Amino acid sequence: MQSFSKLEFAFSNWAPHRFRWAAWAKPVLFTYPEPLGHHRLDECPYADRLPVATRREALVVDLPGAESISCALALARNGFIPVPLFNATTGEGQDVLDLDPILGVLGQAGEQLAALNLPDDAPPAFLIDSRRLDGMAKPEMFDNRWMLFPQDFPSGRLLRSAGIESATVIRRGDRMRHDLRGVLRLLKREGVPSSALDVDTGATRELVHDLSIFSVLGDHIAFVFHGLRENSAGGFGGRVPMPQATSGGYM
pLDDT per position as a tens digit, 93-123 = 899 999 999 999 999 999 999 999 999 999 9
Is 51 contained in some domain? no
DSSP per-residue string spanning 206-246 = E-----SHHHHHHHHHHHHTS---B-TTSSB-EEPPPPPP-
DSSP per-residue string spanning 136-205 = ---TTSEE------GGGS--HHHHHHTT--EEEEEESSS---HHHHHHHHHHHHTT--EEEEETTT--EE
The total of structural domains in the chain comes to 1
Is 45 contained in some domain? no
Is 169 contained in some domain? yes
Question: What confidence score (pLDDT) does residue 238 get?
Answer: 58
Q: Which domain holds residue 78?
A: 6-36+56-239
pLDDT tens digits, 204-220: 999 987 766 666 666 65
pTM exceeding the 0.75 threshold for the entire prediction: yes
Question: What confidence score (pLDDT) does residue 140 get?
Answer: 82
Is 47 contained in some domain? no
Question: What confidence score (pLDDT) does residue 223 get?
Answer: 54
Cβ partners under 8 Å of residue 62, min gap 6: 68, 128, 130, 169, 170, 171, 176, 177, 180
Is 248 contained in some domain? no
Is 41 contained in some domain? no
The residues of the chain scoring below 70 in pLDDT are 1-6, 211-251
Is 247 contained in some domain? no
Burial (CB < 10 A; 0-12, 13-18, 19+), residue 74, is buried
Is 178 contained in some domain? yes
